[in-house]
Every structure is written in structure tokens, then in C-alpha cells.
Amino acid sequence: MKISDRTFIISGGASGLGRATAVDLIQHGGYVAVLDMNEELADELIAEVGKDKARFWRCDVAEPGSVKAAVEGALAWAKETGKEVGGVVAAAGVGLPAKILNRDLTPFSLDDFNFVVQINLQGTIDLVRQCLPALASNTPDGPDKEHGIVIMVASSAAFDGQPGQTAYAASKGAITAMTLPMTRDLARYGIRVVTIAPSMFKSRMTDALSDKVKESLFRTMEFPRRPGMPEEFAHTVRMCVENVMLNGTVIRLDGGVRMPSKM
Ligand SMILES: NC(=O)c1ccc[n+]([C@@H]2O[C@H](COP(=O)([O-])OP(=O)(O)OC[C@H]3O[C@@H](n4cnc5c(N)ncnc54)[C@H](O)[C@@H]3O)[C@@H](O)[C@H]2O)c1
């Protein structure tokens, strides 16, 4: 799928991996609809890239009504510019570490578990679901008559969840598991599905970790021994968009690291 003159809908596009993706797609001729809760960061992004190339919709991906309004807005903008929607990148996500059983033998809160699952899992599938009719009915691209791409964001925690990551791993593991059946459902419409599973990447989420935790994480790494850069994630998204043979797969973007139980 070509990037130029296509609109891409990105949840979590105001910060971190989603933001880098938005900037990269714009640099390669794309248009970006940013759906996020963080208006301040989104405004900064729009000021940087220009509002002819990017628009922001305040959206809580855990609220279907909010997703509906934002997707409708993004589709109306794409119609106005004539830059049809070519893909959706579901990058909004949160972590809320909690061990399933506390030292005082109280189990973790179901509300906290559901909070993570609702944003990371329901928020991903709801956004994708609501974008699909537009992808299926756009003008096909290239000799394969491709209609679009769905890119979802999992995590190393989908495979090697660490202590305290039960809820996060549940949400990200489900995203990896959904990738193949969604690919099979959408093949007839010329829509591809790829999931990217990053290890530790530099972002607001990981900047918040203490130096001690970061140091012990670096020690678990193979090569390179550093966090991934948001631009490296964005590069992978671009590769997924442009390479029609990438479909139905989960790309581990992790420098070979396998997260240990204890650090
Ligand atoms: N950074 C990492 O090390 C890392 C590793 C593996 C996976 N991931 C995943 O990558 C994705 C992006 O994370 P990041 O590191 O860029 O974090 P980030 O905190 O920098 O960005 C996440 C964005 O999602 C938005 N968001 C959060 N809840 C939302 C909601 N309910 N509705 C709409 N927007 C919401 C935030 O406002 C923020 O702009 C997440 O899904 C995360 O789980 C990150």
C-alpha cells in the first residue's frame, strides 16, 4: 500500500510510538488522523507537522461512542481532502502493574484488570472494527488491489509477561492471538493485518521507570543493549504498510530480548 496521499488513523498518536509513526507517515506523504486523550501533546504534534497534514480528535478508545465520533470525524476529513483512508494503527495503550496476589493475600482488583483490558484490547478492536467499512470500500491500490492495512500493537509481554503484568499480558496476548483470524476474515476485502510486538522502547511510558529498573532491563538485552527508539517502531510500521507480503503475522521488534522473570 502506498503511503502518499492516503490517510492513516492512529490511536495514541499524540505520544511515543504512535507519535513517531504519525511523523514518519507524514514525512512519506501520508495524512494522519490522531485519536488520543491527550489534547496538549496532540496540539504540539499538529503545530509541528501542520494541520493540513494531521488532525486531532479527542477520543477515549475504551468508549465506543467516543471512537465512533472520532472515526466519523476522521472519515469526513479524508473525504474533504480526497486522501482516502489506507490504514489504521491502534497504538493507544496503558500499563497498570499489579501482582495477582498481594503479600497480604488479597487478590488484585478486577476493576484495574478490566481498565487495562478495556483500553488495550477493546480499544484496539473497537477502533479497527469501526474503520473497516471505510477500508473495505476505498479505491484499491496497486496490482494486488489492496484496500488497506490494520496494524495493532502488542508487546514482549504477550509472550514473556513479567511479574505484575497479568492484565497487560492478557490484553497484549489477545491482540497477538486475534491477528491471524482477523487476517483470514479480511483477506477477501484486500485488507492486511499485522501486529508489532515491541520490547522496551523509549517513550513517556518507559521514561517513568526508575534508573535502577532501566539498568536491570538493559542487562537482560542481547543486541543492541538499549531501548528501541520510537523512530525504529515507526520505520517498522512504514515497512508493514509498504510491503504487501507482510500479513497475518506478529513482528517481534525486540533486539532478541526475552524478558526474564526476575531482574
Ligand atoms: N514503550 C514501550 O516500551 C512499549 C513496549 C511494548 C508495547 N508498547 C505499546 O505501544 C503502545 C504505545 O505506547 P507508548 O510507549 O508510545 O506510550 P505513550 O504513553 O507514550 O503513548 C500512549 C498514548 O496512548 C494514549 N492513550 C492512553 N489511553 C488512551 C485512551 N483510553 N484513549 C485514547 N488514547 C489513549 C495516551 O494519551 C498516549 O498519547 C501501547 O499500546 C503500549 O502498550 C510500548
Could you tell me if the CB of 62 is within 6 A of ligand 1? yes
Could you tell me if the CB of 226 is within 6 A of ligand 1? no
pLDDT per residue rounded down to tens, the chain (263 residues): 999 999 999 999 999 999 999 999 999 999 999 999 999 999 999 999 999 999 999 999 999 999 999 999 999 999 999 999 999 999 999 999 999 999 999 999 999 999 999 999 999 999 999 999 999 999 999 999 999 999 999 999 999 999 999 999 999 999 999 999 999 999 999 999 999 999 999 987 678 888 888 888 888 899 999 999 999 999 999 999 999 999 999 999 999 999 989 87
Active-site residue flag, 168: yes
Q: Whose CA is nearest to atom 30 of ligand 1?
A: 60
pLDDT of residue 204: 75
Per annotation, catalytic residue among 56, 57, 77, 168? 168
- The CA 12 to ligand 1 mean position distance, Å, reads 6
pLDDT of residue 133: 98
pLDDT of residue 218: 85
Q: Find, among 39, 77, 7, the residue nearest to 69 by Cα.
A: 77
- The CA 188 to ligand 1 mean position distance, Å, reads 31
Could you tell me if the CB of 198 is within 6 A of ligand 1? yes
Which ligand 1 atom is the nearest neighbour of the CA of 227?
3
The residue ranges of every structural domain in the chain are 7-253
Could you tell me if the CB of 254 is within 6 A of ligand 1? no
pLDDT of residue 73: 98
pLDDT of residue 203: 82
List, in sequence order, the alpha helices (H) in 59-161: 64-81, 110-117, 123-136
Choose one of 59, 205, 232, 233 to mutate for the ligand 1 pocket test, by most ligand atoms within 8 angstroms of C-beta: 205
Q: Rounded to 10 degrees, what is the CA torsion of 206, 208, 211, 213?
A: -60
What kind of architecture, by CATH, is found in domain 7-253? 3-Layer(aba) Sandwich (3.40)
Separation CA 61–CA 53 (nearest Å): 22
- The CA 103 to ligand 1 mean position distance, Å, reads 29
Q: Could you say which DSSP state residue 54 is in?
A: E
Could you tell me if the CB of 196 is within 6 A of ligand 1? no
Any bridge partners for residue 10, and if so which?
34, 89
List, in sequence order, the alpha helices (H) in 6-143: 16-27, 39-49, 64-81, 110-117, 123-136
